């Protein structure tokens, strides 16, 4: 008796267009096997597109075939478009099946592989579905282009917007909070040109705009946010259309940001390097003429070397790295005083951080459980649909509702995670890292470094060795102390 594996496949769009169903295909194949006295070794039911063979059920079937490579086997399906909708992948898979002594056959489009001329019919059967797919994709692309030319945005909404269906059934996008407000803030920051785009991206992430740094750059370059839709007419030409959606920013602001990104950042790149390296500039005085020292790079044989120097003929100069490190080392000798730490601890206790964290952890567990329940519900619905118990419209409605619920739950999960991170940072205030408050000085933003130098300026500088002292304002002496002083106080307590 001959044996065969049955393979039935359908995708959601095919059911809508052609009325295909898995139970109907399965019933026809079973009747065919009964009539032709073929033993069914297994039935594999697929709910995936046939653009390629990266399908769960097919992978499982192929794995089963490889286990029994010494036996002659058959795979039966209704038509060749159930097998594949790509000629190249189809021929490649037929070759792999032959390697494992397996023949693929369509009962409605039979092919006798022993007859050479039959390969012509196989090519036709495989080419027609691919041509149909290509034509449908082209029609979809043309439809999207027409919608964009009319000012509508039919694609998946970019971050900051959400897809909606209007009363007339047409697709549109509307602003989505809190992402929309964060993107407005990002544009307003970028136009000021005070910070690097990467720094703005990092802060935006902390505010709740979840995207990569490269995607953040694309956001700042995307005219969709100022109400303009870019329509690709051909490989070399694009047309800008006024969109019907509500813009997040004005066209004027968008143009200004493009100017900053394309022009000012290139022009100020060297200036930014100078600011970052010479953060002590403006606080150093020439010991000979009394002028403020400036800073610049001196070109050597292989590298460029930074120096603080006087523009007068005093010939005073000192290595910037040496002086910067000396200032940083002196700064890192400072720690928060004990009474200050006690104040912070009292503040933290008043906020009841531990109770708040426990509440967030419990909420996180609930959300995680709900996400798993949504996955289980969708899995059960898919099985009922494959079995023919659940209708296509009901399954699609269940699937859409589950996807929306899961998306909202994941957003809630991200918010809880961010809140927990904030709490963890607050807890760190009690440890050594926070006590030694200036240990991360090297990672400070340039503007923050200069602000701190203004509060605690260097004095008594030895321009040969780089040694210096720090000048304390009265207020700082109450909240800061030196590590050495604290150690000495502790020794005195023991003696």
> So which residues are the catalytic ones?
11
Using a 10 angstrom Cβ sphere, with 0-12 exposed, 13-18 middle and 19 or more buried, the burial of residue 432 is exposed
Question: Which residues, at least 6 apart from 111, have a Cβ–Cβ distance to it below 8 Å?
Answer: 105, 118, 119, 121, 122, 125
Task: Tell me how far apart the alpha carbons of residues 75 and 43 are, in angstroms, rounded to a whole number.
Answer: 10
- 284, 451 Cβ separation under 8 angstroms: no
Give the burial class of 138: count Cβ atoms within 10 A of its Cβ; 0-12 exposed, 13-18 middle, 19 or more buried: exposed
Cα–Cα distance, 289 to 313 (Å, whole number): 9
Length of the chain: 495
Tokens found for residue 29 = 């194949």
Q: Are 65 and 30 in contact (CB under 8 A)?
A: no
3-state secondary structure 465-492: CCCCEECCCHHHHHHEEEHHHHHHHHHH
């Amino acid at each position: 008796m001959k044996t065969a594996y049955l393979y039935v496949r359908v995708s959601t769009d095919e059911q809508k267009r052609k009325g295909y169903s898995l139970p109907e295909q399965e019933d026809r194949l079973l009747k065919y096997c009964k009539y032709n006295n073929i033993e069914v070794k297994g039935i594999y039911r697929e709910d995936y597109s046939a653009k390629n063979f990266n399908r769960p059920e097919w992978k499982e079937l192929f794995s089963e075939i490889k286990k029994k490579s010494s036996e002659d086997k058959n795979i039966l399906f209704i038509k060749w478009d159930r097998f594949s909708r790509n000629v190249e992948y189809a021929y490649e898979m037929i070759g792999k099946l032959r390697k494992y002594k397996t023949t693929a056959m369509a009962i409605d489009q039979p092919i006798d592989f022993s007859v050479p001329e039959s390969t012509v019919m196989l090519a036709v059967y495989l080419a027609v579905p691919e041509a149909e797919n290509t034509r449908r994709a082209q029609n979809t692309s043309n439809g999207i282009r027409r919608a964009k030319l009319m000012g509508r945005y039919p694609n998946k909404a970019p971050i900051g917007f959400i897809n909606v269906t209007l009363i007339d059934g047409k697709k549109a996008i509307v602003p989505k909070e809190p992402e929309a407000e964060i993107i407005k803030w990002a544009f307003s920051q970028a136009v000021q040109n005070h910070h690097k785009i990467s720094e703005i991206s990092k802060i935006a992430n902390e505010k709740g705009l979840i995207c990569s740094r490269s995607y953040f750059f694309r956001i700042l370059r995307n005219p969709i946010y100022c109400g303009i839709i870019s329509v690709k007419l051909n490989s070399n030409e694009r047309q800008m259309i006024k969109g019907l959606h509500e813009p997040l920013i004005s066209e004027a602001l968008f143009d200004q940001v493009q100017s900053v990104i394309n022009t000012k950042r290139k022009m100020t790149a060297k200036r930014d390097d100078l600011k970052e390296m010479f953060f002590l500039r403006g606080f150093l005085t020439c010991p000979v003429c009394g002028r403020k020292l400036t800073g610049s790079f001196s070109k050597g044989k292989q590298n460029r070397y930074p120096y603080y120097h006087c523009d007068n003929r005093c010939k005073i100069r000192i290595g910037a790295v040496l002086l910067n490190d000396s200032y940083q080392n002196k700064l890192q000798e400072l720690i928060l005083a004990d009474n200050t730490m006690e104040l912070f601890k009292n503040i933290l206790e008043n906020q009841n951080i531990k109770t708040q964290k426990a509440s967030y952890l419990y909420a996180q567990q609930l959300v995680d459980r709900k996400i798993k329940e949504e996955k289980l519900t969708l899995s059960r619905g898919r099985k009922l649909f494959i079995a023919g118990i659940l209708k296509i419209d009901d399954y699609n409605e269940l699937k859409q509702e589950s996807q929306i619920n899961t998306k909202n739950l994941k957003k809630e999960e991200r918010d809880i995670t961010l809140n927990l991170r904030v709490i963890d940072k607050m807890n760190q205030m009690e440890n050594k890292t926070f006590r030694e408050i200036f240990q991360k000085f090297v990672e400070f933003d340039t503007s923050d470094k200069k602000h701190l130098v203004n509060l605690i300026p260097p004095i008594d500088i030895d321009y040969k060795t780089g040694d210096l002292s720090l000048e304390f304002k009265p207020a700082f002496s109450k909240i800061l102390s030196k590590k050495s002083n604290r150690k000495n106080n502790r020794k005195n307590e023991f003696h």
